[in-house]
Structure 1
Amino acid sequence: MSIFYLHIRDGELLLADVEGQEFPDVEAAHAEAVRSAREMLAEKVKLGEIVDGQEIEIVDEAGDVVGLVPLKETFRVA
Protein backbone atom coordinates (compact mmCIF):
# COMPACT_ATOMS: atom_id res chain seq x y z
CA MET A 1 0.00 0.00 0.00
CA SER A 2 1.17 3.50 -0.79
CA ILE A 3 0.02 6.87 0.47
CA PHE A 4 -1.46 9.27 -2.06
CA TYR A 5 -2.65 12.82 -1.48
CA LEU A 6 -5.72 14.20 -3.25
CA HIS A 7 -5.16 17.95 -3.41
CA ILE A 8 -7.89 20.23 -4.72
CA ARG A 9 -6.74 22.94 -7.11
CA ASP A 10 -8.91 25.89 -8.12
CA GLY A 11 -6.76 28.10 -10.30
CA GLU A 12 -3.92 29.36 -8.12
CA LEU A 13 -5.63 28.17 -4.91
CA LEU A 14 -4.48 24.79 -3.61
CA LEU A 15 -6.32 23.03 -0.81
CA ALA A 16 -3.75 20.49 0.33
CA ASP A 17 -4.67 17.04 1.58
CA VAL A 18 -2.22 16.88 4.48
CA GLU A 19 -3.19 13.41 5.72
CA GLY A 20 -3.31 11.40 2.52
CA GLN A 21 -4.85 7.96 2.14
CA GLU A 22 -3.49 4.49 1.56
CA PHE A 23 -4.26 2.90 -1.78
CA PRO A 24 -2.88 -0.28 -3.36
CA ASP A 25 -1.83 1.65 -6.50
CA VAL A 26 -2.26 4.87 -8.45
CA GLU A 27 -5.28 3.44 -10.29
CA ALA A 28 -7.15 3.02 -6.99
CA ALA A 29 -6.19 6.56 -5.98
CA HIS A 30 -7.46 7.80 -9.35
CA ALA A 31 -10.79 5.99 -8.87
CA GLU A 32 -11.21 7.69 -5.48
CA ALA A 33 -10.31 11.06 -7.01
CA VAL A 34 -13.02 10.58 -9.67
CA ARG A 35 -15.58 9.66 -6.99
CA SER A 36 -14.62 12.72 -4.93
CA ALA A 37 -14.68 14.98 -7.99
CA ARG A 38 -18.21 13.83 -8.84
CA GLU A 39 -19.38 14.59 -5.30
CA MET A 40 -17.80 18.05 -5.45
CA LEU A 41 -19.29 18.69 -8.89
CA ALA A 42 -22.78 17.69 -7.72
CA GLU A 43 -22.53 20.04 -4.74
CA LYS A 44 -21.37 22.94 -6.93
CA VAL A 45 -24.25 22.33 -9.35
CA LYS A 46 -26.77 22.26 -6.46
CA LEU A 47 -25.40 25.57 -5.20
CA GLY A 48 -25.38 27.14 -8.67
CA GLU A 49 -21.61 27.65 -8.58
CA ILE A 50 -19.45 27.84 -11.67
CA VAL A 51 -17.37 24.76 -12.44
CA ASP A 52 -14.39 25.82 -14.51
CA GLY A 53 -10.83 24.71 -14.01
CA GLN A 54 -11.13 22.95 -10.64
CA GLU A 55 -9.27 19.66 -10.46
CA ILE A 56 -7.98 17.07 -8.06
CA GLU A 57 -4.24 16.50 -8.12
CA ILE A 58 -3.13 12.99 -7.20
CA VAL A 59 0.27 13.25 -5.51
CA ASP A 60 2.47 10.35 -4.41
CA GLU A 61 4.61 10.10 -1.27
CA ALA A 62 7.58 11.66 -3.07
CA GLY A 63 5.50 14.77 -3.81
CA ASP A 64 5.16 14.06 -7.53
CA VAL A 65 1.86 14.73 -9.28
CA VAL A 66 0.92 11.35 -10.77
CA GLY A 67 -2.56 12.22 -12.00
CA LEU A 68 -5.10 14.97 -12.53
CA VAL A 69 -8.88 14.71 -12.42
CA PRO A 70 -10.64 17.84 -13.74
CA LEU A 71 -14.08 18.09 -12.11
CA LYS A 72 -15.96 18.87 -15.30
CA GLU A 73 -14.49 15.84 -17.07
CA THR A 74 -16.23 13.52 -14.57
CA PHE A 75 -19.66 14.66 -15.78
CA ARG A 76 -21.19 12.62 -18.57
CA VAL A 77 -24.30 13.36 -20.57
CA ALA A 78 -25.82 10.50 -22.54
Structure 2
Amino acid sequence: MPRFFFHLRGVLEDLDQDGVDLPDMEAAYLEAHQSALDMAQEWLHQGRNPRGYAFEVVNDTGEVVFELPFAEALDRQAGRRPVNLPGTIRTAKEQGERMMRLTAELAQQVKDAQANLRRSCELLQHLGKNRAG
Protein backbone atom coordinates (compact mmCIF):
# COMPACT_ATOMS: atom_id res chain seq x y z
CA MET A 1 0.00 0.00 0.00
CA PRO A 2 1.51 3.37 -0.96
CA ARG A 3 2.45 5.92 1.69
CA PHE A 4 1.42 9.56 1.32
CA PHE A 5 2.84 12.55 3.21
CA PHE A 6 0.66 15.59 3.89
CA HIS A 7 2.92 18.65 4.11
CA LEU A 8 1.14 21.74 5.41
CA ARG A 9 2.05 24.88 3.44
CA GLY A 10 1.13 28.45 4.32
CA VAL A 11 2.11 31.05 6.90
CA LEU A 12 3.23 28.18 9.11
CA GLU A 13 4.72 25.14 7.43
CA ASP A 14 4.78 21.64 8.80
CA LEU A 15 6.40 18.70 7.03
CA ASP A 16 4.71 15.36 7.63
CA GLN A 17 7.50 13.00 8.69
CA ASP A 18 5.31 9.91 9.23
CA GLY A 19 2.90 9.75 6.31
CA VAL A 20 -0.19 7.59 5.98
CA ASP A 21 -0.61 4.31 4.11
CA LEU A 22 -3.58 4.64 1.76
CA PRO A 23 -4.76 2.47 -1.13
CA ASP A 24 -4.49 5.15 -3.86
CA MET A 25 -4.32 8.83 -4.75
CA GLU A 26 -8.11 9.22 -4.53
CA ALA A 27 -8.04 8.05 -0.91
CA ALA A 28 -5.19 10.49 -0.27
CA TYR A 29 -7.26 13.32 -1.76
CA LEU A 30 -10.24 12.45 0.42
CA GLU A 31 -7.98 12.30 3.49
CA ALA A 32 -6.47 15.71 2.67
CA HIS A 33 -9.91 17.20 2.00
CA GLN A 34 -11.37 16.01 5.31
CA SER A 35 -8.28 17.03 7.26
CA ALA A 36 -8.37 20.50 5.67
CA LEU A 37 -12.03 20.90 6.69
CA ASP A 38 -11.34 19.71 10.24
CA MET A 39 -8.31 21.98 10.66
CA ALA A 40 -10.11 24.94 9.08
CA GLN A 41 -13.04 24.55 11.46
CA GLU A 42 -10.70 24.47 14.46
CA TRP A 43 -8.74 27.48 13.22
CA LEU A 44 -11.90 29.48 12.52
CA HIS A 45 -12.98 28.90 16.14
CA GLN A 46 -9.56 30.30 17.18
CA GLY A 47 -10.04 33.34 14.93
CA ARG A 48 -7.43 32.22 12.39
CA ASN A 49 -7.97 32.38 8.63
CA PRO A 50 -7.32 28.96 7.03
CA ARG A 51 -7.63 30.13 3.41
CA GLY A 52 -3.90 30.77 3.00
CA TYR A 53 -3.00 27.15 3.72
CA ALA A 54 -2.72 24.08 1.53
CA PHE A 55 -1.75 20.46 1.77
CA GLU A 56 1.07 19.44 -0.53
CA VAL A 57 0.65 15.69 -0.84
CA VAL A 58 3.82 13.78 -1.65
CA ASN A 59 4.28 10.09 -2.41
CA ASP A 60 6.92 7.85 -0.85
CA THR A 61 9.43 8.75 -3.58
CA GLY A 62 9.16 12.46 -2.73
CA GLU A 63 7.12 13.39 -5.81
CA VAL A 64 4.31 15.93 -5.30
CA VAL A 65 1.15 14.15 -6.44
CA PHE A 66 -1.25 17.04 -5.82
CA GLU A 67 -1.85 20.19 -3.83
CA LEU A 68 -5.12 20.90 -2.04
CA PRO A 69 -5.65 24.54 -1.01
CA PHE A 70 -7.84 24.83 2.08
CA ALA A 71 -9.85 27.49 0.21
CA GLU A 72 -10.79 24.87 -2.38
CA ALA A 73 -12.00 22.44 0.29
CA LEU A 74 -13.97 25.19 2.05
CA ASP A 75 -15.53 26.43 -1.19
CA ARG A 76 -16.48 22.92 -2.21
CA GLN A 77 -18.10 22.32 1.22
CA ALA A 78 -20.05 25.57 0.87
CA GLY A 79 -21.30 24.50 -2.56
CA ARG A 80 -19.26 27.13 -4.39
CA ARG A 81 -17.30 26.23 -7.43
CA PRO A 82 -13.60 26.32 -6.51
CA VAL A 83 -11.44 28.90 -8.19
CA ASN A 84 -8.58 27.13 -9.96
CA LEU A 85 -5.71 29.02 -11.47
CA PRO A 86 -4.54 27.45 -14.69
CA GLY A 87 -1.49 25.30 -14.10
CA THR A 88 0.78 27.58 -16.08
CA ILE A 89 -0.09 30.62 -13.96
CA ARG A 90 0.42 28.69 -10.72
CA THR A 91 3.74 27.33 -11.99
CA ALA A 92 4.87 30.79 -13.09
CA LYS A 93 3.97 32.23 -9.68
CA GLU A 94 5.88 29.47 -7.86
CA GLN A 95 8.90 29.92 -10.13
CA GLY A 96 8.79 33.69 -9.61
CA GLU A 97 8.73 33.27 -5.84
CA ARG A 98 11.62 30.79 -6.04
CA MET A 99 13.57 33.18 -8.25
CA MET A 100 13.06 35.99 -5.70
CA ARG A 101 14.36 33.76 -2.89
CA LEU A 102 17.37 32.65 -4.95
CA THR A 103 18.12 36.24 -5.98
CA ALA A 104 18.13 37.34 -2.34
CA GLU A 105 20.41 34.43 -1.41
CA LEU A 106 22.77 35.26 -4.28
CA ALA A 107 22.89 38.94 -3.28
CA GLN A 108 23.88 37.89 0.26
CA GLN A 109 26.56 35.57 -1.09
CA VAL A 110 27.97 38.42 -3.23
CA LYS A 111 28.09 40.70 -0.16
CA ASP A 112 29.86 37.97 1.83
CA ALA A 113 32.38 37.42 -1.00
CA GLN A 114 33.07 41.16 -1.24
CA ALA A 115 33.66 41.35 2.52
CA ASN A 116 36.04 38.38 2.35
CA LEU A 117 37.90 39.97 -0.56
CA ARG A 118 38.30 43.25 1.38
CA ARG A 119 39.65 41.36 4.41
CA SER A 120 42.08 39.43 2.19
CA CYS A 121 43.35 42.66 0.60
CA GLU A 122 43.84 44.22 4.03
CA LEU A 123 45.77 41.17 5.24
CA LEU A 124 47.99 41.21 2.14
CA GLN A 125 48.70 44.92 2.60
CA HIS A 126 49.54 44.32 6.25
CA LEU A 127 51.89 41.47 5.32
CA GLY A 128 53.55 43.63 2.67
CA LYS A 129 54.18 46.42 5.18
CA ASN A 130 55.66 43.97 7.69
CA ARG A 131 58.09 42.56 5.12
CA ALA A 132 59.14 46.00 3.92
CA GLY A 133 59.70 47.32 7.42
TM-score (norm 2): 0.54
Alpha-carbon separation, structure 1, partners of 2:5 and 2:50:
22
Cα offset, 1:48, TM superposition: 1.1
Of Structure 1 and Structure 2, the greater helix share is in 2
Structure whose residues are more often strand by fraction: 1
- Match of 1:14, SS state, is coil
Q: How many residues align?
A: 77
**Who is 1:77 aligned against?**
78
Structure 2 unaligned blocks of 5 or more: 80-133
Bigger Cα Rg: 2
State the secondary structure of the residue aligned to 1:66.
strand
CA distance in 1, matches of 2:78, 2:3: 33
Is there any run of 5+ residues in structure 1 with no aligned partner, and where?
none
SS of the equivalent of 1:31 reads: helix
Q: Tell me the amino acid that sits aligned with residue 5 of structure 1.
A: F
Code of the aligned partner of 1:77: A
Pairing 1:4–2:4 present: yes
CA displacement, residues 30-62 of structure 1 (integer Å, 9 cap, x when unaligned): 100000000111011111112332001110011
User: Whole-Å Cα distance in 2 between the matches of residues 52 and 35 of structure 1?
Assistant: 15
Residue 77 of structure 1: how far off its partner (Å) = 2.6
Query: How much identity, in percent, do the aligned residues show?
Result: 35
